[in-house]
Amino acid sequence: IYRATIAEYDLMKSLPNIQILTGSAAHTLVMRMQVDAKPFDDIRVRQAVQLAADNKQMLDVVYRGEGQIGGNYHVSPIQPDHFPLEPVARDVAKAKALLAEAGYPEGIDIELTLGNTQGRWEQDTAQVLQQNLAEAGIRLKLNVLPAAQYWPVWDKVPFGATYWAHRPLGSMTLDLAYRSGAAWNESHFADPAFDAALDSAMGTVDPQARKAAMEVCQTILRDQAVMVQA
C-alpha cells in the first residue's frame, strides 16, 4: 500500500493475522498564508497564527501521534538535507500581543480553505487549529470544498491547507514551493536571502554539507511565519 489515511490505518491494525511494516515519508499538510494578501501581509498576524497553533495537539488528536511534528518550514527530518532546528514554543499570550500591535486588539476573523484531498483528517486538523487559534482571539472560519473544487483554487486562496507529497530532498520542495516566482509558490513568498541560501544548498552535492545552507533556508521560512505545519 503506497499510502493509507489514519482511519484506514486503524482498520488495518484491527485485522487479525496482519503484520504492518511501515516506512517514513515526507508527505505533509501545509496550512500556508499568502504573504501579500491581507491580513497576512502583516508578519505580526502570521506570527500570531503560528504561535497560537498547537502542532503537537494536532498531531496527537488527528494522527494518533504517528509521524513527526512539523517545524513550520516544510523540510522533513527524514530528508538527508534537513537541519534540526529548535522548535518554536507555543505562546498564546505573545500571539495576542502581536495581534494588538498589528491593530486587532479585539481579535481577528480569518478563513482557511481546504478540500480534504487526502481524506477527512485534513478537516480534523483544521478544526484543532480552529480551537487553538480561538484561545488567542483569532476567529477561524473553515471553508471546506469538495476535492475537485479545491485544486483549481489551491494556489489562489489567501489561507489554504494543501497536501504536499514526498520529495527525496527538502531542497527540492523548497525550490518548487517557496523560491521567488516558483510555479507552485502558493504562499507568494519571495525573499532574496532565502533564494541565495537555496542556490547554495542546491549547488552543494553532499547532503551533509548541504545542511549548513538548509539551516539558513529553514530558519528564514520559519521566522517569516509562512505556514502552520503540524
Give the pLDDT score at 73.
98
Give the pLDDT score at 96.
98
* Nearest of 175, 168, 163, 167 to residue 199 by alpha carbon: 175
Give the pLDDT score at 63.
87
| Per-position pLDDT tens, the chain of length 230 | 777 788 888 888 899 998 888 888 999 999 999 999 999 999 999 999 999 999 999 999 998 888 899 999 999 999 999 999 988 899 999 999 999 999 999 999 999 999 999 999 999 999 999 999 999 999 999 999 999 999 999 999 999 999 999 999 999 999 999 999 999 999 999 999 999 999 999 999 998 899 999 999 999 999 999 999 99
Distance of alpha carbon 37 from alpha carbon 39, whole angstroms: 6
Give the pLDDT score at 5.
81
**Burial class for 166, CB neighbours closer than 10 Å (0-12, 13-18, 19+):** middle
Give the pLDDT score at 3.
76
Distances, alpha carbon 72 to alpha carbons 149, 217, 218, 227, 229, in Å: 26, 12, 9, 6, 5
Give the pLDDT score at 78.
94
* Nearest of 74, 86, 123, 72 to residue 228 by alpha carbon: 72
